[in-house]
Chain A
Amino acid sequence: MRRQPELVRPRTRRRSCAPLLAVFSLLSCGTGPQDPVRADIPPAPPPAAPQIALEPPADPAAVARGQALIDRFECVRCHDLPGREPAPLEKHCVRCHQDILAGRFPAPPGTLREWQGHITHLTDVPALHGLDRFRRAWLAGWLHTPHDLRPGLDSTMPRLALGTAEAADLAAALIPAAEAAAPAAGDLARGRELFGDKSCALCHRFTGAPNIAPAARLPVPLDEAQLQRGLAQAPDLRFTRERMRPAALVAWLLDPPRHKPGTPMPKIPLDEADARALAAYVTEVPLEPPPAPKHVQRLPLLERRVTWAEVEAKVFKRTCWHCHSDPDYARGDGGPGNSGGYGFTPRRLDLASYTGIASGSVGDDGKRRSVFAPLADGTPRIVAHMLARHAEVEGAAPELRGMPLGLTPVPLADIQLVDTWIAQGRPQ
Chain B
Amino acid sequence: MSRLALALSLAVTGAVVSLPNVADACGNTVRRLVDSGQEYVQRAELLLAKAQYRKAVSTIREAFGDKAIAAHMKGPGAHLHGRAQRIVALAVARSGGAVAIGMDLGGAAQSRKDAAIAWAVLALRLQAGDQPTPAQTAELAEALARQTSGRAEAYDLLKGLGDGDLMPTAQGWALLAELSKERGDVEGSKTAVERCVKMRARGVKCELTEQA
Contacts and interface: CB of A to CB of B under 8 A. Distances in A.
A358 B38 CA distance: 24
Nearest to A338: B27
Contacts of B199: 425-428
A331 B80 contact: yes
A325 B30 CA distance: 14
A206 to B, nearest CB: 35
A305 to B, nearest CB: 9
Contacts of A115: 29
Interface string B160-176: 00001111111000000
A126 to B, nearest CB: 21
Contacts of B31: 330-332
B134 A359 contact: yes
B80 to A, nearest CB: 7
A138 interface: no
Interface in A371-416: 372-373
Interface string A329-352: 111111100000000000010101
B166 A332 contact: no
B25 A368 contact: no
A400 B76 CA distance: 37
Nearest to B200: A427
B96 interface: no
B28 A321 contact: yes
Nearest to B198: A425
A331 B200 contact: no
Contacts of B170: 428
Contacts, number: 109
B27 A332 contact: yes
Nearest to A307: B200
Interface residues of A, number: 43
B23 A373 contact: no
B83 interface: yes
Contacts of A359: 133-135, 166, 168
Given A111-B33, A331-B35, A359-B133, A323 B27 contact: yes
B26 A322 contact: yes
B165 A370 contact: yes
B156 interface: no
B205 to A, nearest CB: 14
Contact of B201 (A335, A356, A368, A428): A428
A348 B133 contact: yes
Interface string B35-61: 100100000000000000000000000
Nearest to B201: A428
B82 interface: yes
A373 B26 contact: no
B24 A356 contact: no
B76 to A, nearest CB: 10
Nearest to A428: B201
Nearest to A91: B24
B27 A330 contact: yes
A111 B168 CA distance: 32
A127 interface: no
A90 B24 CA distance: 5
Contacts of B134: 355, 358-360, 368
Contact of B28 (A96, A107, A329, A373): A329
A108 B165 CA distance: 43
B3 interface: no
A99 to B, nearest CB: 11
Counting chain B CB atoms within 10 Å of each CB, the highest count among A90, A111, A352, A369 belongs to A90
B94 interface: no
Interface in A279-329: 321-323, 325, 327-329
B29 A360 contact: no
A207 to B, nearest CB: 32
A145 B34 CA distance: 40
5 contacts: A332-B26, A334-B27, A348-B133, A368-B164, A426-B198
Given A330-B28, A425-B199, 14 more contacts: A115-B29, A327-B79, A328-B79, A329-B83, A331-B24, A334-B27, A335-B26, A354-B168, A356-B168, A358-B167, A368-B164, A369-B164, A369-B166, A428-B199
Question: Closest 3 CB pairs between A and B?
Answer: A425-B198, A332-B24, A90-B24
